[in-house]
Amino acid sequence: MTTLTLGPLVFAGERLAAVIAIVVFLVISATLSARLDARIGGWSMGALVVGVVAARIGHVLLNLPGFAADPWRIAMIWQGGFSLPAGLLAVVVYSLFQLRETHTRIGSLAALAAALIVWNVTFQLVATTTAIAAAPATLATLQGSEVKLADFKGRPVVVNLWATWCPPCRREMPALMRAAEKRTDTAFVLANQGEDASATVRFLGTAGLAADHVVLDQEMALARHYGVQGFPVTLFLDRRGILRTMHFGEISPEALNAAIDALHE
């Protein structure tokens, strides 16, 4: 999957696809506003806000139990989580009220359709994940033992590559720990990249997190093996240890559970 990397931090390609689609939408709308009808310019900004808000609300309603338990997560839009049907429906309704003339409605539809096409094409280009066999690296646990990803063959495995200096890594760690306790059908390997035991233990202690599932990869062998250039990244391996999908950037509990469920299908 293609990613957007800013220094040591990495962002999902699907979000890059969304940003590109939004830019296309605004550029086409601005062009139509200048050449067809100035009202399309004002409509486009309103439609963008309405669409994003409605898409987020739709996602929250579809996953209400999880958000009810942690309502503050509703505002964590950087984790992703938007309902495309809800967003499109809201934009259509908004457009019908804002644009009454046929030519403005046709223009708005053209801008929206172009953005959707660009998003779909870009998403398809970045959504492909190369199947990679489990890394052969030997990892050290904080209890002093050693483990390899091959040791988990026969079970799906979630591998999270993280570091203590990475803000999104720190934010998502409690959710990953909770998922590891709940999803006993899946193995979790939370592999710290490039840091020693003291830094890792210090972070876990300060955050009040257990050392279970945490391993050390001081040579960053996993990052090299899977071609990862920034953190956090969550890898999903099937029962044979083959990489099936990757999530770049901070992952939400909903996205995490959906990816795990896909491994069990």
CA distance 94 to 173: 39
Cis peptide before 253 (omega within 30 of 0): no
Number of domains observed in the structure of the chain: 2
Kindly state whether residue 185 falls inside one of the protein's structural domains.
Answer: yes
Mean pLDDT of 23-41: 95
- Look up the domain containing 182 and give its range: 139-263
Q: Could you report the per-residue pLDDT of 72-111, keeping only the tens digit for each?
A: 889 888 878 899 999 999 999 999 999 999 999 999 999 9
Q: Are residues 188 and 244 in the same domain?
A: yes
Q: Are residues 40 and 117 in the same domain?
A: yes
Q: Are residues 113 and 149 in the same domain?
A: no
Which ranges of 78-216 does DSSP label H, i.e. alpha helix?
Answer: 84-98, 102-126, 167-182, 197-207
Chosen domain end from 126, 149, 169:
126
Kindly state whether residue 131 falls inside one of the protein's structural domains.
Answer: no
First to last CA, the chain: 21
Q: Are residues 208 and 114 in the same domain?
A: no
Chosen domain end from 67, 95, 126:
126
Q: Could you report the per-residue pLDDT of 8-29, keeping only the tens digit for each?
A: 555 567 778 888 999 999 999 9
CB atoms within 10 A of CB 125: 12
Q: What is the chain's Cα-based Rg?
A: 21
CA distance 232 to 250: 6
Q: Are residues 41 and 146 in the same domain?
A: no
Q: Are residues 114 and 174 in the same domain?
A: no
Q: Which residue has the higher pLDDT, 116 or 2?
A: 116
Q: Are residues 195 and 108 in the same domain?
A: no
pLDDT confidence of residue 7: 59
Q: What is the CATH number of the domain that holds 236?
A: 3.40.30.10
CA–CA distances in Å: residue 150 to residues 21, 155, 187, 232, 241: 40, 10, 11, 22, 7
Q: Are residues 90 and 114 in the same domain?
A: yes
Q: Could you report the per-residue pLDDT of 166-221, keeping only the tens digit for each?
A: 999 999 999 999 999 999 999 999 999 999 999 999 999 999 999 989 999 999 99
Q: Are residues 51 and 150 in the same domain?
A: no
Which ranges of 5-152 does DSSP label H, i.e. alpha helix?
Answer: 13-35, 39-62, 64-69, 84-98, 102-126
Kindly state whether residue 231 falls inside one of the protein's structural domains.
Answer: yes
pLDDT confidence of residue 93: 96
Chosen domain end from 126, 154, 182:
126
Kindly state whether residue 133 falls inside one of the protein's structural domains.
Answer: no
CA distance 35 to 198: 63
Q: Are residues 46 and 18 in the same domain?
A: yes
Q: Are residues 212 and 97 in the same domain?
A: no
